[in-house]
Structure 1
Amino acid sequence: MSSRMAGATLLRHLAPRLVAAAEPASGLAARSIMPAAARIFPARMASTAAAPDVQEGAAGATGKTEGQSKTKAVVSYWGIEPRKLVKADGTEWPWFCFRPWDTYTADTAIDMQKHHEPKSLPDKIAYYTVKTLGVPKDLFFQRRHASHALLLETVAAVPPMVGGMLLHLRSLRRFEHSGGWIRALMEEAENERMHLMTFLEVTQPKWWERALVMAVQGVFFNAYFVGYLVSPKFAHRFVGYLEEEAVKSYTEYLKDLEAGKIENTPAPAIAIDYWRLPADATLKDVVAVVRADEAHHRDANHYASDIHYQGLTLKETPAPIGYH
């Protein structure tokens, strides 16, 4: 049987059902070809909503009206309402971007002055590359610390994501463990992103700053991706020096806050919950914990680079514990 004859036979069998479904009934416009298609193909393979009878039964069990049940959003793939999360004081947890178990208290006692002296040629290249990139940054932002923090965090969150992704693929490809470094780098990327979400509550980027972020991220992601493939130890050393500059930038931010050049406004609510800060925390407290995070990232990346210089791999040396 030719394909044309097979198509004609199929249409002859399906046409009565499609035509019957197209006839209006009880004035509802929804009576179209879709119910017919549902009868022909009854499987709900891609649907994430509960079945109609399940929805009606749930509505009847809770005594809700039809209008009330329609306004209730289904926020789970399986149509199951997630359990309620609460804070320590019993109030409802307001954040979807992180959960209570993702929060922590930053170690602000970490040494902020630590510096890895570049000795080898790759180290010197990484160090002076970061220093060179800092010149146009200082000229562009000057003392606009909040705007600088926004751009800085969009860049700082790229390397750990790239490194974690490549280590993840390598672990799959070689059937080997990663020493915990995949999770450590993913945590670093998430931590940097939360810095960005926090400073978005302090200032909003202008359209040209958003355009700059897109341009910088497009170039930096690809450059770092290639760099990590070529030399992970150079890539981690580069990030280590990048984090050293971040620590210095936030130190200048703190100086201007302490000098009264920038208003020390109340801390954003998202920062209070993420870093477990006191309810009366201020912007100064937020900058202090962000700087501590950057110092931890600095030490972890220099440590990762040292591992490679010792002829080892990350899978042979466990990642630092408490890696925020």
Structure 2
Amino acid sequence: MSYVRLVFDTATLWKFGLINKEKILNRAIFLETIAAMPGMVAAIIQHFRSLRNMTRDRGMLNMFLKEVNNERMHLLTFIRMKEPGTVFCAAVIRAKFGFGRFFLAAYMINPAWCHRFVGYVEEEACHTYTRILREMEDVPRGSELARWKDKDAPKIARGMVYDEMKAVRADEAEHRDFNHAMSGLPDNAINPLYDPGEKMDVMLKKYVEDMMEKEANKHGENCSCLRRCYCFR
């Protein structure tokens, strides 16, 4: 993991010179572009596994897609702040092509290891955004970074740029914990955050309550009396 961090720091010039707006956006855009891939790979494999085995996905698919969409929204926010150039886009495409092939093959072999790896990557992302926030807090008043942090974030986000960075860091921390938790679950486990059976029970209960409510209103009876009559809870 330290080697991956070293390569990424070198590619984004993170360790060279002062941290400024340009470096922050380059690093954030590159990071969020790559970070949106693991969840989609997991979702695709889960989808085809469900079709192949003719079984339910146990609530995993929606969870992976939710993570992917969250990372995508981070990316859309940052590219509203800076339009990537041709060279930068080419570098991102090459990185995605290489990492995508590696992660797809690895996930087909050992999903638990991949989730653990992504958990460590998200931990590094938390360190990155913590460093960005610290730089914004300690920067001299009147500098470019100081003026930028107090600007309004793009309309796709909320608050100022500084607030957006804090929100992104919180999301990355959630993704870190989620992937570490996923690495410890067996293949046939139900999503602990989204149990389809439990959700179905809630939906059925609400349906029965609504039907009884309509029946009570139709006959002019008190709904609570009808519930007691049917011993419904």
Q: Does 1:132 align with 2:3?
A: yes
Classify 1:319/1:186 alpha carbon distance in 2 versus 1 (closer, same or farther; 3 Å).
Answer: farther
Q: CA deviation at 1:217?
A: 0.5
Within 5 Å, give how 1:143-292 maps onto structure 2. 143=19, 144-260=23-139, 262=145, 263-264=148-149, 265-272=151-158, 281-292=159-170
* 1:134-193 residue CA offsets vs partner (Å, 9 max, x unmatched): 102212321311110000011000000000000110011111122211110011111101
Normalised TM-score (structure 2):
0.74
Could you tell me which of 172, 187, 191 is aligned with 1:318?
191
**Partner letter of residue 133 of structure 1?**
V
Structure-2 separation of matches of 1:191 and 1:228: 21
CA-to-aligned-CA distance 1:9-55 (integer Å, 9 cap, x gap)? xxxxxxxxxxxxxxxxxxxxxxxxxxxxxxxxxxxxxxxxxxxxxxx
Task: Find runs of 4+ consecutive structure 1 residues off by over 4 angstroms.
Answer: none
The 1-side partners of 2:89 and 2:46 are apart by 30
Q: Percent identity at matched positions?
A: 35
| Counterpart in the other structure of 2:214 | none
Q: CA RMSD in A?
A: 1.3
What residue is the counterpart of 1:306 in the other structure? 184
| Displacement of 1:194 | 0.6
1:185 maps to a residue whose letter is F
Distance between the aligned counterparts of 2:167 and 2:193, measured in 1?
19
Question: What is the identity, as a one-letter code, of the residue corresponding to 1:270?
Answer: I
Residue segments in structure 1 that go unaligned for 5+ positions in a row: 1-129, 273-280
Alignment pair present for 1:297 and 2:175: yes
Distance of 2:137 and 2:10 partners within structure 1: 23
1:252 Cα deviation from its structure 2 partner: 0.7
- CA distance in structure 1 between the aligned counterparts of 2:71 and 2:59, rounded to whole angstroms: 19
Is there any run of 5+ residues in structure 2 with no aligned partner, and where? 195-233
3-state SS of 1:161 partner = helix
Please state whether the residue corresponding to 1:320 is helix, strand or coil.
Answer: coil
For residue 30 of structure 2, what is the amino acid of its counterpart? L
Output the CA distance in 1 between the equivalents of 2:74 and 2:3: 24
Give the counterpart letter for 2:54 in structure 1.
F
Corresponding position of 2:218: none
